[in-house]
Amino acid sequence: MKENEIELKIQALVDGELTESEAEQMRECMDNDVRLQILYAQLIQTKDLISKYEMPRVLPESGDFYWAKIAQEIRTGEPTNQGSNNSLVIKWLFHRLAPLLGIATIVLLITLQQPSVPDLAIELESDHELELLSDEIDVMTFNSVDDSMSIVWLEYSMDIQRDYMELWLD
Amino acid sequence: MQILSKYRLGKFSLFIAILLFVGSGIASDKANSIEIRAALVVGASKEKKGAKKLSESIRKRLAKVFKWRNYYRLSDKQLSIPVDKTKTAKLSKKASIKVSNRKNGRVSVSLFSGGKELIQKSQTLRIGSYMVLAGESTGDSAWFIVISKSN
């Protein structure tokens, strides 16, 4: 056994960390070696000194309180994880929706910039009312340029040949 | 009679009062009446000699809008319509109109063909403006019903 290992074994013996057989073996070694006996005595003495004169460290809070704090930290950590999950969802949505939002904004801007009613300098009289009583007839309404004549053109052929005949015979 | 004698009113005064009352009612009704002129017109590309020509002002207006250059009057009706009343005018064998005098100079015209109502047009008709209902007829011609207000 190397000298360093022997010293470590003696240290372990002082700390009570060796098995009974190992402790017996180490005691036999020390009986034959004065240097080891001195080392053992020094270590025992140091241990006594430390145990007697070590400044006691008193915790400001009890152990239970520490555990309670740790448990609280764990609990508060959980919502943080949920929050991070939410932020991930928001990021994902942002990545997906950002192009769509951009297109929608552009379309909205174009729509807003266009005049709602094209200005063709046509003034329509608002009091005109037309009621079509037959679905088979197509109707077109318009006013003359000077607005003195309002015209309703019906896709309806009226036979006035007989009236013609009377007209020509008059 | 006792009341008349009490207020010194003779029979003649009472007669005058009644006359004025009735007269004012008639005058008021006349004032609210409108004079509508409705003409059935045919538009043709070919000139027809001897036919009744349309007034030059209406002809010019129609010729500005439509392709036909010749316009002839087939029939012409004058209607005096009190307010909130409707009058009918037969313009041809098939075509007739029903004109209603709405309030505030608003006129409503319904067009009938063979007893069937085709359309109803309502608008404020000013003096000097025209409401025209039109459509194609046989051959290269068209029919026009020109409605105007004269008062």
Mutate to test the interface with A, among B47, B107, B133, B148 (most CBs of A within 10 A): B133
A18: which residues sit within 8 A by CB, 6+ positions away? Answer: A9, A12, A26
Q: B69 vs chain A: nearest CA distance in angstroms? A: 17
Measured CA angle at A66 (ends A65, A72), to 5 deg: 90
Within 8 A of A153 by CB-CB distance, chain B residues are: 134-135
ipTM: 0.78
**CB-based contacts of A11, cutoff 8 Å, min separation 6:** A43
In whole angstroms, what is the distance from residue A107 CA to residue A102 CA?
Answer: 9
Share of chain B above pLDDT 70, in %: 79
CA dist B35 and B9 (Å) reads 40
| More confident: A28 or A112 | A28
Q: How far, in Å, CA of B51 to CA of B44, rounded? A: 12
Q: Kindly determine whether residue A144 and residue B65, on different chains, have CB atoms separated by under 8 Å.
A: yes
Phi, psi of A125 (to 5 degrees): -70, 130
Over residues B26-81, the pLDDT tens digits come to 555 556 789 999 999 999 888 888 788 888 989 998 998 899 999 999 899 999 99
- Give the closest of A130, A131, A155 to B135, CB-based: A155
| CA-based radius of gyration for chain B | 22
Specify the DSSP class assigned to residue B52: P
What is chain A's mean pLDDT, rounded?
Answer: 79
Q: What is the pLDDT of residue A170?
A: 44
User: Nearest residue on chain A to B44, judged by CA atoms?
Assistant: A164
Q: Quick check: B117 contacting A, CB < 8 Å?
A: yes
Tell me: the pLDDT tens digits for A16-75? 999 999 999 888 888 988 988 999 999 999 988 888 877 777 777 777 888 888 888 888
CB contact under 8 A, A137 and B113: no
Site from B45, B66, B70, B92 to mutate, A interface, most A CB atoms within 10 angstroms: B92
Is the pTM above the cut of 0.95? no
Q: How far is B100 from chain A (nearest CA, A)?
A: 14
Sign for the CA dihedral angle at A46, A47, A52, A58 comes to: positive
Length of chain B: 151
The answer to whether the Cβ–Cβ distance between A149 and B65 falls below 8 Å is: yes
Tokens representing B4 are 């008349």
The SS3 of residue A41 is: helix
Query: Of B51, B122, B138, which is closest to A129 when you measure between CB atoms?
Result: B122
